[in-house]
Structure 1
Amino acid sequence: MEVILYTRNRCPLCVDAKSILQYLQKEYRFQIIERDIEKSDEWTEKFGLMIPVVEIDGEIIQYGIIDTFTIEEKLNHL
């Protein structure tokens, strides 16, 4: 399974979100795909004000301040 993390440079919330995902990898099997929104006009337009954004199976699970509980709830139901 893949978990997509939309980020950008110099984003402290993105660093926190990545740490949460890496922590959850100890319990759940998934690959983190990190996408820098500044590398795509489409991503910048779509997610520019929302980052970090966590997407699982094409669904945006959470954005902004990411918390372990919300992401873990989704992973438990897959």
Structure 2
Amino acid sequence: MPEAASVVLYSRKSCGLCDAARATILAERRRVRFRFEEVLIDGDDELEHRHGLRVPVVEVNGVEAFEYVVDAALLRSLIG
């Protein structure tokens, strides 16, 4: 059996787009099993330098797949 997909959401506190991305990811997680981790970039110099104001950023299986908006249908196809 293949290993479950991994989804990482890079976000900030008080970020409406991050809240929407999280909601989309969690809705898909109710449909299909995958690992999910949310990483707050606030206060992390390396992550703030990498992502800056470009949040949310979502990686699927280690590959950047979305920024700002998560498309549920595309997420579904990426996680299998």
TM-score clears 0.5: yes
Unaligned residue ranges in structure 1 (runs of 5+):
none
Q: Give the CA RMSD over aligned residues.
A: 1.2
Question: How many residue pairs end up in the alignment?
Answer: 76
SS in 2 for 1:54: strand
Q: Which has the larger radius of gyration?
A: 2
Q: TM-score, normalised by structure 1?
A: 0.87
Hey, what does 1:62 align to over in structure 2? 66
Amino acid at match of 1:10: S
Unaligned residue ranges in structure 2 (runs of 5+):
none
- Quick check: 1:17 aligned with 2:4? no
Q: TM-score, normalised by structure 2?
A: 0.85
Output one character per residue of 1:43-78: Cα deviation in whole Å (capped at 9) or x when no partner: 1111112200110121001101222122112112xx
| Deviation >6 Å, runs of 4+ | none
